[in-house]
Structure 1
Amino acid sequence: MEPFVHNDREETSLAPSLFFISKWMENDDRLSSGFSGRAGGVSLAPWNSLNIGLHVGDAQADVIENRKRLADGIGWSFDAWTCAEQVHGSRVARVSAVDRGKGREELGDAIAGCDALMTDVPGVLLASFYADCVPLFFYDATKGVVALAHAGWRGTVGKIAEETVLAMQAAYGVEPADVRAAIGPSIDDCCYEVDGIVIQEVKRVLEELDLDDGTARVCMRLKESGKADLNLKEINRQIMIKAGILPSRIEISNWCTGCRTDLFFSHRAEGGKTGRMASWIGIRER
């Protein structure tokens, strides 16, 4: 069953298109977590319509309006929206109460130099941005800790999933076996062909993970052309498992952003000129 449940908005509605991790939210009514689609915003082509990225050339006022619509759609104050610069690395930043709201309206005040955020502060809404890269979600109900990580191929081979778990352990005393994780809508191997340095870096990581041949082939299928079909979702799942998260506690989306440009933005399928979706996670104040 698909863990990211679409809100089934009406096509004529102004409400944003949202995909909720409903299973998590049903178990904790203070938690909000999910992923945005491309419909229900105000941006013009080629970012139409719910573009959440300030860095893609869209009008700043339109992006801010879209972000406000998303916040309203999930029942959060826009003041809580907190995000990072995102540099395709693997650094994890701890978000404190004083960081609340960073990056919500300006690129310049986003949390610098990192692709993963974590917090134990209720009332902080973490957000990050995608158009094919893999959104990773982490939630420990025992400690009241949430985290997001942005994993393109560079972040994946940098093991940002493992780095996030290690950072949660060091900062908050989180036990990996207590963590729930989710892997959101992103490009699948059906739409993601790679070559050269990407193949070499993925091979290195697969060797480090010491996977059996069958699992390794699911992660990356080498082709006679010298290229490969890459399954970033499964690689990140394997990294999560090696980091100590139980397989039964990892949700993985079936949505492919490359196949479903009716629902999502896709950098690869749309030739690089498109909008960005957002992942979000936060625990409401009591």
Structure 2
Amino acid sequence: MKTKIYFDNEKFISGMTLKDVAESEQNNMALHSCENLEDILENRKKLATTLQCELGNFVCANQTHSANFYHVTLADKGCGADRLDTAIKDTDALYTYEPNTLLCSFTADCVPVIFFNEVNGLIGIVHSGWQGTVKEITPKLINHLTKAEKCNPCDFNVYIGAALSQEKFEVDEDVYVKFLNLGYADDFMYYNYKTDKYHIDNQQTVKRQCELAGIPADQITVDATCTYISEDGFSYRQDKKAGRHMSFIMKK
């Protein structure tokens, strides 16, 4: 199966599954958007084998485009791994200190944000569609970790995964105004007079949010792959029945 590994070192492993026509449902990883649940479970089991863990190590959330985050403990291992009804409720970001716990996020154009803290071993993952971005889910989580978990933002390394490109993220004025009101996204938007549409770079907006929250720019990596254009991408904007990528991170 096709999987892009963002990093794999002594402490952490992270990456993103890719669309793969050779696999069942093209390597779709989402139980909430599939034709056959058993095929999705088989795809997840294959990924688990690749990562040298078990399906029961997965932790998945019921993503609702919220700004809600959740502290995963050992008791949560396996939540959403093989059933939708056990997923963490109404949550779009997960973090944990626990080893051998695979935090998962599902996207098909939305921005996956993956991070780890080199000093204290905390890991996390965020699902930031445009709604999550304007709700500032990523900086809210970073600020929470700074205050509640005593993290130093300078200790975080962030990977922003493949998502819909600015070229393909075409919106009307109502969405443009929401980004404009953030006060720091102006550089990542332009207007197309021919189509009367605005184009927004959600990835770069999230990157700016991370920087404003105190994470050094040189510790933020952006995967510029467009999920709409790439043959390896699932794109909801292109196909409303599209499967989903799984972005993941695990502390070893």
* TM-score normalised by length of structure 2: 0.95
Q: In 2, distance between residues paired with 1:30 and 1:244?
A: 23
Quick check: 1:234 aligned with 2:183?
A: no
Please, which of 184, 189, 214 is the counterpart of residue 220 of structure 1? 189
Q: Residue in 2 aligned with 1:9?
A: none
SS in 1 for 2:64: coil
Q: Residue in 2 aligned with 1:12?
A: none
Quick check: 1:245 aligned with 2:210?
A: no
Instruction: Confirm or deny: 8 A CA contact 1:17 1:40 kept in the other structure.
Output: no
Note closer, same or farther for the CA distance 1:78–1:57 as it changes in structure 2 (3 Å cut): closer
Q: In 1, distance between residues paired with 2:58 and 2:153?
A: 26
Quick check: 1:37 aligned with 2:6?
A: no
C-alpha distance after superposition, 1:140-179 (max 9, x if no partner): 0101100000010000101111012122223421110111
Quick check: 1:282 aligned with 2:244?
A: no
Q: Residue in 1 aligned with 2:233?
A: 264
The code of the aligned residue for 2:238 comes to A
Identity of aligned residues (%): 29
Structure 2 gap segments, 5+ residues each? none
Q: In 1, distance between residues paired with 2:75 and 2:45?
A: 21
SS in 1 for 2:65: coil
Q: In 2, distance between residues paired with 1:166 and 1:158?
A: 14
Structure 1 residues 92-241: aligned runs within 5 Å: 92-205=69-182, 207=183, 209=184, 216-217=186-187, 219-224=188-193, 225-241=195-211
Q: In 2, distance between residues paired with 1:69 and 1:94?
A: 26
Instruction: Confirm or deny: 8 A CA contact 1:53 1:63 kept in the other structure.
Output: yes
C-alpha distance after superposition, 1:100-159 (max 9, x if no partner): 110001111100011000001111110010101000011101011000000100001011
Please state how far the C-alpha of 1:49 moved relative to its aligned partner: 1.4
Please state how far the C-alpha of 1:40 moved relative to its aligned partner: 6.6
Q: In 2, distance between residues paired with 1:171 and 1:85?
A: 24
C-alpha distance after superposition, 1:189-241 (max 9, x if no partner): 11111013211111111x1x3x6xxxx23x11123244211100000000000
Please, which of 23, 39, 52 is the counterpart of residue 29 of structure 2? 52
The code of the aligned residue for 1:264 comes to G
SS in 1 for 2:39: helix
Q: In 2, distance between residues paired with 1:105 and 1:197?
A: 38
SS in 1 for 2:26: coil
SS in 2 for 1:280: strand
Please state how far the C-alpha of 1:41 moved relative to its aligned partner: 6.4
Q: In 1, distance between residues paired with 2:107 and 2:44?
A: 14
Q: In 1, distance between residues paired with 2:21 and 2:10?
A: 25
Please state how far the C-alpha of 1:282 moved relative to its aligned partner: 0.9
Instruction: Confirm or deny: 8 A CA contact 2:28 2:34 kept in the other structure.
Output: no
Instruction: Confirm or deny: 8 A CA contact 1:42 1:65 kept in the other structure.
Output: no
* TM-score normalised by length of structure 1: 0.84
Q: In 2, distance between residues paired with 1:233 and 1:35?
A: 16
